[in-house]
């Protein structure tokens, strides 16, 4: 079970708890004054655990147990590909260990980049379509729904999959790095997303695109915008809607690194997945950011030490993950130093008023035991300071339009399902399509 799914899909707890663009197509929707209005194409960028991941084992794969051999699972396609994330079978302990082993990434300091476990190939499916974003596991639709309610609501406006509504899944274990550092998987995703934006626009009479992200997808989307020229953004981007984006990281991520995170699923021992969760490049990206979690704010407290966001390197050493220090200091810290304004209209929609981990208290038993938790405000996963980071950092950006919408009592993933939240998201999309202008830096509750 991937630790990064804490950010992407809390729906896991409910269990127990080549791009194809259609020919040029223009869709029109009726609005109240009976005028027909072109719909701007939409691209959905999911949160971490909302991406379906497939794997294939090569002859280099070495079995580590009788169960976890090259022939497991038996259910593969003709080319050897099988479902890796999410598969409901990973809730069974022996399978959990095998799953974690195959999900683990390795940082290679010689090439300064991350790579899969030896003998494991991975891919996402149906890039360009929303189909792989609807459910975590399509075999159990009734308990693993992810973006299905949101997609259905958007389609009621007249949108059609792969015509003017698209999906951009990615391998959520990988992240991005600061300038000058290779990041093959993450930068390839940004290139594919850029091409999807361009193709979606061209297929819809040149209409600029509305980007709608959830959770970690918002961080990737902001990087896409800021890594492309302003002229490109002005031509191809109409608006960016970020749902539940962890701009400044989360305290919950420190729990994942320290003790493992079973996402509330009682059948899973968090220690079985801790090493795999620590290995995810994107999990380091989600460590608490210094500007949102200042020096005087204690995040983790033990009988001998107190750690703030300025002590992440020491924290990684003390939990026994010293190999994470170098990539954190060289690749992540420079990456998160600034949240540059992209110069395109941005709307942040998120929940608040939900108990969210704020400080972790560990006893004499150390990090192998789950901590006592002090809670604060947020959406249950992301702290309120992180959710509000753009409002704070862009307040003096005269050329940046930012709208912030807070939804009381809406959790990190319920924002994709709750009727009130969905109505707010759809209203925002409709407003953008009708080109109703709004003043910059509007805050709504």
Q: How many other CB atoms sit within 10 Å of the CB of residue 111?
A: 10
Whether residue 371 is contained in a domain is answered as yes
What tokens does 348 get? 């942040």
Q: How many other CB atoms sit within 10 Å of the CB of residue 302?
A: 19
Asked whether 429 and 210 are in contact (CB, 8 A), the reply is yes
Residues 240, 350, 50, 341, CA torsion sign: positive
Residue 181 known to be catalytic: no
**Which ranges of 260-348 would DSSP assign to H, the alpha helix?**
270-279, 281-285, 312-318, 325-327, 333-336
Q: How many other CB atoms sit within 10 Å of the CB of residue 365?
A: 9
Whether residue 30 is contained in a domain is answered as no
Whether residue 403 is contained in a domain is answered as yes
User: Distance (Å, rounded) from C-alpha 433 to C-alpha 27?
Assistant: 12
Per-residue pLDDT of the chain (445 residues; tens, 9 = 90+): 555 454 444 443 333 333 333 333 333 333 333 345 689 999 999 999 999 999 999 999 998 888 899 889 999 999 999 999 998 888 887 889 999 999 999 999 999 999 999 999 999 999 999 999 999 999 999 899 999 999 999 999 999 999 999 999 999 999 999 999 999 999 999 999 999 999 999 999 999 999 999 999 999 999 999 999 999 999 999 999 999 999 999 999 999 999 999 876 667 889 999 999 999 999 999 999 999 999 999 999 999 999 999 999 999 999 999 999 999 999 999 999 999 999 999 999 999 999 999 999 999 999 999 999 999 999 999 999 999 999 999 999 999 999 999 999 999 999 999 999 999 999 999 999 998 544 444 455 5
**CATH number of the structural domain spanning residue 319:** 3.40.50.1820
Residue 215 known to be catalytic: yes
Q: How many other CB atoms sit within 10 Å of the CB of residue 96?
A: 21
Residue-wise burial string across 217-231, b where 16 or more C-beta atoms lie within 10 A, e elsewhere: bbbbbbbbbebbeee
What's the order of all strands across the beta sheet hosting 402-408?
165-167, 42-45, 209-214, 237-243, 346-352, 402-408, 442-444
Would you give the distance in Å from CA 214 to the centre of its chain? 6
Whether residue 34 is contained in a domain is answered as no
User: What domain range is 194 assigned to?
Assistant: 42-434
Whether residue 7 is contained in a domain is answered as no
From the list 129, 215, 259, 308, the catalytic residue is 215
Residue with tokens 């399902």: 417
Residue 239 known to be catalytic: no
Strands in 10-110 per DSSP E: 28-30, 36-38, 42-45, 53-57, 82-85, 105-108
From the list 161, 379, 411, 418, the catalytic residue is 379
Whether residue 99 is contained in a domain is answered as yes
The domain tally of the chain equals: 1
Of 324, 237, 235, nearest in space to 278 by CA: 324
Whether residue 290 is contained in a domain is answered as yes
From the list 137, 282, 412, 418, the catalytic residue is 412
Whether residue 22 is contained in a domain is answered as no
């Amino acid at each position: 079970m991937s630790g990064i799914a804490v950010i992407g899909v809390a729906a896991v707890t409910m269990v127990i708890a080549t791009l194809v663009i259609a020919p040029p197509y223009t869709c029109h929707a009726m609005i109240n004054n009976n005028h027909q209005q072109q719909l701007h194409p939409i691209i959905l960028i999911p949160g971490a655990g909302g991406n379906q991941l497939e794997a294939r084992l090569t002859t280099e794969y070495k079995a580590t147990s009788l169960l976890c051999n090259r022939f497991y699972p038996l259910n593969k396609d003709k080319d050897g590909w099988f479902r890796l994330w999410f598969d409901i079978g990973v809730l069974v302990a022996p399978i959990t260990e095998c799953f974690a082993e195959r999900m683990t990434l390795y940082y290679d300091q010689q090439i300064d980049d991350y790579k899969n476990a030896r003998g494991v190939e991975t891919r996402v499916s149906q890039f360009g379509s929303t189909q792989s974003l609807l459910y975590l596991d399509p075999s159990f639709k009734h308990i693993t729904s992810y973006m299905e309610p949101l997609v259905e609501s958007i389609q009621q406006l007249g949108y059609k999959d792969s015509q003017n509504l698209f999906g951009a899944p990615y391998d959520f274990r990988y992240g991005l790095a600061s300038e000058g550092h290779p990041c093959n998987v993450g930068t390839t995703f940004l290139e594919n997303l850029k091409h999807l934006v361009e193709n979606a626009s061209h297929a819809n009479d040149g209409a600029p695109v509305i980007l709608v992200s959830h959770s970690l997808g918002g961080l990737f989307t902001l990087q896409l915008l800021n890594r492309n020229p302003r002229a490109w953004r002005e031509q191809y981007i109409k608006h960016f809607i970020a749902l539940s984006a962890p701009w400044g990281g989360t305290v919950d991520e420190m729990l994942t690194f320290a003790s493992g995170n079973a996402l509330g699923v009682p059948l899973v021992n968090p220690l079985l997945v801790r090493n795999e969760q620590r290995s995810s490049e994107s999990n380091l990206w989600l460590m608490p950011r210094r500007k949102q979690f200042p020096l005087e704010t204690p995040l983790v407290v033990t009988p001998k030490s107190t750690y703030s966001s300025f002590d992440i390197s020491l924290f990684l050493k003390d939990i026994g993950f010293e190999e994470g220090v170098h990539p954190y200091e060289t690749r992540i810290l420079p990456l998160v130093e600034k949240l540059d304004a992209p110069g395109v209209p941005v709307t942040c929609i998120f929940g608040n008023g939900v108990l969210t981990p704020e400080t972790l208290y560990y006893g004499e038993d150390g990090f192998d035991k789950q901590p006592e938790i002090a809670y604060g405000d947020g959406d249950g996963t992301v702290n309120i300071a992180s959710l509000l980071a753009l409002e704070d950092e862009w307040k003096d950006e005269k050329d940046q339009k930012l709208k912030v919408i807070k939804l009381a009592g809406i959790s990190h993933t319920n924002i994709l399902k709750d009727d009130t939240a969905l109505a707010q998201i759809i209203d925002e999309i409709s407003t953008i399509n009708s080109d109703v202008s709004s003043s910059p830096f509007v805050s709504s509750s």
